[in-house]
Amino acid sequence: MSGGGYYSKCSVSRPVEWVKGKTVGSGSFGSVHLAMNKATGGLFVVKSAESEAGLQFLESEAEILESLDSPHVVKCIGKEMCGGGKKLNLFIEYMAGGSLADVTEQFGGKLDEMVIRLYTREILLGLKYLHENGIVHSDLKCRNVLLSSLGDVKLADFGCSKRVKQHSAAGIAGSPLWMAPEMIQGGGLDCASDIWSLGCTIIEMATGNLPWAGKISNPMAAVLRIACSDDRPNFPSHFSQQGLDFLEKCLERDPKKRWTAEQLLHHPFVLDKNLGNNSSFVAAEKYAASSPASVLDKSIFPETDYSDESSSDEEDEDEEDSPVPKPSGNRFFPFSMLCENKIGVSEQQLRFGEQWSGSEEEWITVRTS
């Protein structure tokens, strides 16, 4: 299939003629395909949407990406409106390494802590850039962080992203297991919510499981627990004290006390000892906090995949074989809308957690305007 239509102004050369390749992903907005620039042979990715809701979110992502220029954010190559304005194609640079979720799965189901440190620092640099420009990503997770074959890390999927000054509390979207408590409660959009999601993303990398795995019986239970309890996801039992302290700073339930991306960039956890300054790691012994890995007693839910401080020695070992869901396109809703019964889902959908087997397609996809 060749492209045609009109294009936007973008940061790198956009294709004039292109051919669509195989599907590499999909979401609630539409599809994602590998594509080739016929003039250069270069590869890129095309995200396409035809539904009214899909067009809205893809146009929002295009508007955000076109305004950004950072080595830590995927670059927009162009966009094309066709079909009489009923279909939008968004062209984005190709990241050959895939997502962090793909890499974690391909390398044994969990990543070494040193690699996590390196990736976390790159993610923080991307978040710092976004936040300095008044943008909240709103859907940070391993599946939305991409890698090049050389290890470059870039933030992707800006369909849920918002500009802080132009957005109210209503209509927030994101992925529930990564969302900060104040977001689910409908408390408004703030950069601090991305930091909570970063903590959840680190747990993904360290365990190969989703945040809240073993603590949550179904998606609706997840919403209630995140919004209404004082709990946090269990921290990886094998993490260093630096790593645990870093997670404490990310997963502080009070957003006003949560560290910023700028502050976290100075944390010993993301200061690479291979960069020639070992003093930061020597000083880390004095810096590391002695706070517990979890604020509540052992979960009442079965098959806990990582333990908290109250667990026994036998429970401290991560259970690698437990089934874990891996949703990708799951956008959710403010908790207040759940209470007011305004989300427009059926009773059967709300009870679907009873047969929750771990497939990413089994998550309810809900977005609000």
What are the catalytic residues?
A: 139
21 vs 36: CA distance, rounded Å: 7
Q: Which helix (H) or strand (E) holds 102?
A: helix 100-106
Contacts 24+ apart (CB under 8 A), 48-54: 48/87, 48/88, 48/89, 48/90, 49/87, 49/88, 50/83, 50/86, 50/87, 50/88, 53/28, 53/29, 53/367, 54/28, 54/29, 54/30
Q: Which two tokens stand for residue 42?
A: 């270069």
Distance of CA 76 to the CA centre of its chain: 19
292 vs 312: CA distance, rounded Å: 14
Phi, psi of 48 (to 5 degrees): -125, 145
Q: Which helix (H) or strand (E) holds 81?
A: strand 76-82
Hey, which residues does 20 pair with through a beta bridge? Answer: 35
Report whether 269 contacts 246 (CB < 8 A).
yes
